[in-house]
Structure 1
Amino acid sequence: SFGNSPMIKTLQRRTARKKTKRLGEVQQKILLLLLGGFALSCSRSPSKTLQIIRGMHATWKDIDKQSADRAIQALYESTLVDARENPDGTITLTLNEVGRKRALTYRCKDIKIPKPSTWDKKWRLIIFDVPEWEREARDSFRDHLDYMGFFCIQKSAWVYPYDCKNEIDFIIECLDIRKHIRFIIVDHFDNEEHLKKSFGLD
């Protein structure tokens, strides 16, 4: 089968030694495109790097092809996509499960927690203990909490004053870490005045 071809095996051996890195903006856009069900057809340049020949999305008019080609090569080396060699010598890239989870985390960045007109005097406490072998998901979850305005009271304990359960549920489902997360509603903290000041509450 094409999945066992020498070219694919060589690529897999090369990429197996590479660790997943933080992705740039173009790489994130490509992941989200693939998440939507698109497949990218690529060819090999003389230098053996991947080049897109079909599948560029109309909304990418602000991205030049050279940048897109570099992003595709980096994505492949991060093992977030699968490659299938076609009879005509081209290679089709599709999102694999690891890439799907990563793409979903970028979609999570669009989440905004609505702020009510009045505070219900309760705190939402998020406690998590994600194992080291899921470090990428753990770091992503922490980054999302920070981005959404949560306050870190300990290394793996974050607090927020407004209802956010639906938003947190969505993120932990995307990251597949539900069993490592605890969502607690708290009436009072001993350092509550400091927290109130941090969130601009009376």
Structure 2
Amino acid sequence: MKPRSLMFTLYGEYIQYYGGEIWVGSLIQLMSGFGISESSVRGAILRMVQKNLLKVRKKGNKSYYSITEHGKRRVDDGVTRVYAAPRAAWDGKWRILSYSFPEEKRELRNEIRKELTWTGFGMISNSTWISPNPLENQVMEMIKIYQIEENTILFSCSDVVSHTNDSIIEKGWDIGQVSDNYDKFIEKYSPEFEQLREKALTNTLTDEECFIKRTSIVHEYRKFLFQDPGFPRDLLPEDWVGTKARELFWNIHQLISIPSIRYFESIYESAPDQEIKPVRDKAINPFKEVYV
């Protein structure tokens, strides 16, 4: 588990509901449960500060870290997509982004590709990306943040003359591979769910174990954000295995959520000048009924 990726998970799962800021000592202790050393945590924090993903605030001799606006966009997008149920109906529109970057902006072009993949777009040609989801606001925000107005064109259409919707999906995404990966997720975590449920019934689950399990499964499930575009059900195969994987994820999450939060609260330390009003109910159950 990479420190930077784990930090995004911790901020999205816990810290954002407790004022969005945490003492570095608490962060080090929380991450030690995943085998990450203090030096690795501090190194990851430094790199994230340099990339404008984290910012630091000093109070006395202690350092407190929070997510920047740039980092918060990634956290918020991830939380929304992990916990929101897919829409049932497609509005019939394709969102299409085309771009052209000069060679000296090659690194920027690669960054935009990562952003689009994360958002759920599929690439149908070297410079053309497409999605059936209403992502106009997110894409326009990305364009503004990266200042690439002159390099991009975003438009939507209801008809693709040369291809069927199924062939567009086949060009842009490997749905078969996504399905296989969901099968592997179910195969791995179904036995874990039964074991956790048995331990819960016999009152042998510790708060720390629940915290590690919840964080780990969220961390694992987040990987699907780079694979599964989150299609409306209209565009998915019948008996889509992703639905079963989400139900399993929900079952495990809710089984161990309350003790997970208890453990986090036992480690978490905010700055002494901060009056924190935790949004504990959302930290326990962040699931939403409708995709937004």
Instruction: Place the TM-score, normalised by the shorter chain, in its bin.
Output: 0.5 to 0.7
Q: 2:36 aligned with 1:67, yes or no?
A: yes
Say if 1:40 and 1:55, in contact at 8 Å, map to a contact too: no
The separation in 1 between residues aligned to 2:80 and 2:115, in whole angstroms, is 10
| Within-5 A mapping of 1:92-107 | 92-107=64-79
Tell me what 2:124 maps to: 153
| Within-5 A mapping of 1:1-20 | none
| Within-5 A mapping of 1:69-148 | 69=38, 70-71=40-41, 73-79=43-49, 80-87=53-60, 89-107=61-79, 109-110=81-82, 113-116=86-89, 122=92, 124-129=94-99, 132=105, 135=109, 138-145=112-119, 148=120
TM-score by length of 1: 0.53
Q: Which runs of 5+ in 1 are unaligned?
A: 1-21, 43-51
Cα deviation, 1:2-21, whole Å, max 9, x if unaligned, reads xxxxxxxxxxxxxxxxxxxx
Tell me what 1:169 maps to: 136
Say if 1:85 and 1:91, in contact at 8 Å, map to a contact too: yes
The separation in 2 between residues aligned to 1:109 and 1:63, in whole angstroms, is 27
SS at match of 1:184: strand
Structure 1 residues 94 and 144, CA, compared in 2 at 3 Å: closer, same or farther?
Answer: closer
Bigger strand share: 1
101-110 or 132-141, which deviates more: 132-141
TM-score by length of 2: 0.40
Tell me what 1:41 maps to: 23
Structure 1 residues 174 and 74, CA, compared in 2 at 3 Å: closer, same or farther?
Answer: farther
**Deviation for aligned residue 1:66:** 5.5
Q: 2:160 aligned with 1:188, yes or no?
A: yes
Say if 2:98 and 2:154, in contact at 8 Å, map to a contact too: yes
SS at match of 1:82: strand
SS at match of 1:188: coil
Aligned-partner residue type, residue 183 of structure 1: F
Cα deviation, 1:43-82, whole Å, max 9, x if unaligned, reads xxxxxxxxx24797xxx6x971753844454033221222
Say if 2:11 and 2:20, in contact at 8 Å, map to a contact too: no
Q: Percent identity?
A: 12
Greater relative CO (CA pairs within 8 A, separation 6+)? 2
The separation in 1 between residues aligned to 2:154 and 2:117, in whole angstroms, is 17
Structure 1 residues 75 and 170, CA, compared in 2 at 3 Å: closer, same or farther?
Answer: farther
Aligned-partner residue type, residue 31 of structure 1: Y
Bigger helix share: 2
Aligned residues: 156
The separation in 1 between residues aligned to 2:55 and 2:41, in whole angstroms, is 15
Say if 1:105 and 1:175, in contact at 8 Å, map to a contact too: no
Structure 1 residues 68 and 39, CA, compared in 2 at 3 Å: closer, same or farther?
Answer: farther
Cα deviation, 1:9-50, whole Å, max 9, x if unaligned, reads xxxxxxxxxxxxx974412123324544321113xxxxxxxx
The separation in 2 between residues aligned to 1:35 and 1:129, in whole angstroms, is 34
